[in-house]
Each structure stands twice: as C-alpha cells, then as structure tokens.
Copies of this chain bind each other. A is one copy, B any other.
C-alpha cells in the first residue's frame, strides 16, 4: 500500500473509532444508563464528536486526499481505493466548507430548541417555539449558502442524507406518487375498515421478545455480531461491521409495535452487517443513503414481514407463542389486521399506504419554507390544510400536527424526511429485481427461508457500503433508474386484493 494511503486510512480509523465510541455512549444512554449519568454523558458525547470533527477536518487529510487522488487516478471506479478517495473527498469538502463557528452556533441552537420542544409539544404550544423555529430556518438557509451552485437551498440538506438526489428529482417523483396515492387511499377509505382488534390484546413482553428474536435470527440477523435491547425509541446502531445492534420498543397491549419494529430495525442492521469487511473503519463502511437504508428496513418489514408468504411460515409459531390471543384467529384475519389501512394523524403510526402522504407533506413544507414561499408563522395552518387535502383529516391540535416529529426541533429544516418515502419506493424496485433474478424467492419465504433474498441484497446492495451512490446502486441492482412503478404495482396488487378494489 502507498504510505500516504496507509496514513490516510490510519487517520480515518481514528475518526471512525471516535464516532463509534460516541454511538456506544448514545446506545448506553438509551438502554442502560442510570438517570444520574445524563449530564456528564451529554458532555462526553459532545467532546468525542468535536474531536472526531477536528481530526477529520485536519488539513493533513485534505493534503493526503489531493495527493492520493492523483496517485490513484487510474484505479478502476469500483476499486476500494478509488471509492475511498472519492467518498472521503466528498465528505471532507462538506465538513470543511462549513465554518466552525457556524457548527457551534447550530449545535447550541439545536440543543436549546430540542429542550424547549420536549415541553412545548405536551403543552401544545407552537407559539412558544415559533421564534426558535424561525432561527432554525435561518440557520438552515445559511447552511445552504456554504454550498453554492445548488438550485434550491434544500438541496445541500438533501445531499447530506441522500447524495445524488435534489429537490427537482424528488419533487417530480413525489408529485407522481402523490397523484397516484391519494386516489388509492380514497378508494380504500370507501371500503369497509379492516378489523385489527386481534392485535390489540395483551401480549406479554417476554414472549414478544422471544418471538421477535426468532424472526430476526431466521431472516439472517447475526446475533454473534449484534444484540437486541429495549429502548423508548427503537433504532439500529453500528460500532463496527461486526457489532451492529438493534433496539425495540414493546407495547404489551399492541402486537404490531414490537414485532414490525423489530423486523424494521433488523433490516437496517442486516444492511450494516452485510458490508464488505475490507471496508471496516472507513467512511465506506455503512449504508449509502437514508433512502437505500430505509429501503432495507421497509423491504423486510413490509414486503416480506407483512406478506401472506411470510406468515404462511411464521403464523403457526406465532400462534404457539400466543395461544390464548391467536389460537382461534385465522391467518387471513391476522393478515388483514396487520395490513389495515386507515388515514391517521401520526406519521410513525401510519400504515404502509398512507405513510408516504405524511412524508411528502413534510418534504413539500420544508421546501416551501426554505424557498421563502411559506413563513414559520403560517406553518401550522399549511400543515393542517395539507392533511385535510391528502388524508381527509385535520389535527385537533398542533401536538398531533406540526409538533409531532422531533426532526425540525433537533436539527435543520430540510433533508430529514424524504428518505422514508424514497426508501419505500426503492424497496419495491429492489424486491421486484431480486424476484426476477430468483423466481424461487416467494416460495422460499413461504417455507421460512430467506437466504436467496438476503444473498441477492447483500451482493447487490449491502456489501458495497457507501462505495456507490443510491442512484448507482439502484441502476446496478435493478437495471433501471429509480421508478415508482414497482411500488405502485406492489400496493395495487396487495391492497387491491385485500380491499377488493
């Protein structure tokens, strides 16, 4: 190895070690930390983050990148070295283009508004947050100015989580999707509501955990390189390719929360566990974008986990785990219950069909705010109007409206939401391509075998880490650019049958 490449990798490993340590501190904060630890923990995480930023933005890294990009100019695009230099140079440019003072100001504001939100939301008091949210908007616009050459101020924010995308691409895609989803939701709303009361029974926690872990293991999550713990907000987190953990939140009175939450996080975690070991401790060693990441959580949660084929295998074991609750419930009744569609106020509780309408609402409002077409003062009204237009519901208060998600109250406005719907769209495109490559996948799922599907996903997506952009991954894996067609075909097929459309 070129000695400068060796030095670059050593420096990047140091940064990765600091980041991984920060993530462990955060995991512990959310799982086992006693309440007394909170104050010091916040400070410790800030210290490690600051050091990681300082180490990553060191001039020496810029010098090494410049020099090595010349040295490795003839390396093939797909080689680990070329990819490392390409992706690291991109991240380095981004990290060094923002003045350190701005980073501190934004981070301090973020802590302040988050803290205010934790009481303003229960108090249903948007007015109290308004001036702070205006500052968030101002900071979000100023952030965009450090990245000139973009068409819209939301674009640099999008690029941070979904590199290669911008508001024009996503806006067009979302407009198409919305035009097709709203009528579908309306058509379903005209049919009799599915009955999901079987899910709303008492399901003891220990049995839920046991079943969830059995499912995760069968799907292919490697517990020798991971584990599951309980948290208030479920998440997946990575400390190395060989230590990728998930957390779950159980609701003893509602089966879906823990069960599909576990499958969702298992999807995220299998992506991270599937990255090529050669990329360990480099910026290449994680999922490539929020959209592609979400495509994996949603593929496993919805396209696999809420399918008839999946329950063909797993329903009997579930009944065995919960004989009193499900012993006399037919699989068809259960299948209809877990796929109940009903317009609702809260994004994170929304079903598969209406979910994207919540996301697109947020994306469009972010874009309008950043473009100066919408004022923060008018945000609650705009939110409610759009809810009525798309879902036929008006939130009774801001608590379940504009205050419901933490995202705008813990970071920038812009870029935080689109990945959820991009992920849904991608999930169907990936799943269709996998089935085209291996037509036996459906039958295998019916028998509880997921190796072929996971193998295809690993080979086409997981192993590459961030080596390729989302767009490259999609084209390489499916032979086509991103398209909503497979997703709409999936929804129409599944829900057409379920609701007799």
List the B side residues contacting A13 at CB < 8 Å: 43, 47
Residues A34 and B227 in contact, CB atoms below 8 Å apart: yes
Query: What's the Cα separation between A254 and B320 when bound, in Å?
Result: 37
- CB-CB contacts below 8 Å: A298-336 with B: none
In the complex, whether A39 has a CB less than 8 A from a CB of chain B is yes
Partner of A25, one of B14, B21, B223, B241: B21
Query: What's the Cα separation between A35 and B43 when bound, in Å?
Result: 29
User: Chain A 212-253, CB within 8 Å of chain B: the 1/0 string?
Assistant: 000000000011111101000000000111110100000000
List the B side residues contacting A227 at CB < 8 Å: 32, 34
Query: What's the Cα separation between A34 and B27 when bound, in Å?
Result: 14
Nearest CB of B to A322, in Å: 24
Instruction: Give the dominant DSSP class at A's interface.
Output: helix
Question: Whose C-beta in chain B lies nearest to the C-beta of A55?
Answer: B51
Known: A17-B47, A21-B21, A21-B48. A35 touches B224 (CB 8 A): yes
Query: What's the Cα separation between A224 and B17 when bound, in Å?
Result: 30
Residues A243 and B41 in contact, CB atoms below 8 Å apart: yes
List the B side residues contacting A18 at CB < 8 Å: 47-48, 51
In the complex, whether A97 has a CB less than 8 A from a CB of chain B is no
- CB-CB contacts below 8 Å: A421-442 with B: none
List the B side residues contacting A37 at CB < 8 Å: 225, 239-240, 242-243
Query: What's the Cα separation between A35 and B222 when bound, in Å?
Result: 11
Query: What's the Cα separation between A428 and B239 when bound, in Å?
Result: 45
Residues A36 and B281 in contact, CB atoms below 8 Å apart: no
Query: What's the Cα separation between A261 and B280 when bound, in Å?
Result: 39
List the B side residues contacting A245 at CB < 8 Å: 34
In the complex, whether A44 has a CB less than 8 A from a CB of chain B is yes
In the complex, whether A172 has a CB less than 8 A from a CB of chain B is no
Known: A17-B47, A32-B227, A47-B17. A243 touches B25 (CB 8 A): no
In the complex, whether A193 has a CB less than 8 A from a CB of chain B is no
Question: Whose C-beta in chain B lies nearest to the C-beta of A226?
Answer: B34
Query: What's the Cα separation between A14 and B51 when bound, in Å?
Result: 9
Most B C-beta atoms less than 10 A away, residue of A17, A33, A225: A17
List the B side residues contacting A239 at CB < 8 Å: 37, 40-41, 44
Question: Whose C-beta in chain B lies nearest to the C-beta of A43?
Answer: B17
Question: Whose C-beta in chain B lies nearest to the C-beta of A242?
Answer: B36
Query: What's the Cα separation between A223 and B222 when bound, in Å?
Result: 33
Query: What's the Cα separation between A229 and B34 when bound, in Å?
Result: 12
List the B side residues contacting A21 at CB < 8 Å: 21, 25, 44, 48
Query: What's the Cα separation between A269 and B44 when bound, in Å?
Result: 21
Query: What's the Cα separation between A408 and B241 when bound, in Å?
Result: 33
In the complex, whether A80 has a CB less than 8 A from a CB of chain B is no
Query: What's the Cα separation between A243 and B227 when bound, in Å?
Result: 23
User: Chain A 18-58, CB within 8 Å of chain B: the 1/0 string?
Assistant: 10110011001000111111011101100110010000000
Nearest CB of B to A289, in Å: 24
Most B C-beta atoms less than 10 A away, residue of A13, A20, A24, A241: A24
Residues B47 and A242 in contact, CB atoms below 8 Å apart: no
Question: Whose C-beta in chain B lies nearest to the C-beta of A33?
Answer: B243
Query: What's the Cα separation between A24 and B40 when bound, in Å?
Result: 12
Residues B281 and A34 in contact, CB atoms below 8 Å apart: no
List the B side residues contacting A223 at CB < 8 Å: 34
List the B side residues contacting A47 at CB < 8 Å: 13-14, 17-18
Residues B40 and A280 in contact, CB atoms below 8 Å apart: yes
List the B side residues contacting A241 at CB < 8 Å: 40
Known: A44-B17, A47-B14, A48-B17. A36 touches B222 (CB 8 A): yes
Query: What's the Cα separation between A25 and B23 when bound, in Å?
Result: 11
Query: What's the Cα separation between A224 and B36 when bound, in Å?
Result: 6
Nearest CB of B to A388, in Å: 46
Residues B20 and A242 in contact, CB atoms below 8 Å apart: no
Query: What's the Cα separation between A176 and B334 when bound, in Å?
Result: 78
Beyond known contacts A24-B28, A34-B226: 13 more, CB 8 A cutoff: A17-B48, A18-B51, A20-B44, A21-B21, A28-B28, A36-B226, A37-B243, A39-B240, A40-B240, A40-B280, A41-B239, A41-B243, A43-B281
A-B pairs, top 3 by smallest CB distance, nearest first, are A37-B243, A40-B240, A36-B225
| 7 A-B contact pairs sorted by A residue (CB < 8 Å) | A14-B51, A17-B44, A18-B48, A20-B40, A32-B229, A37-B240, A37-B243
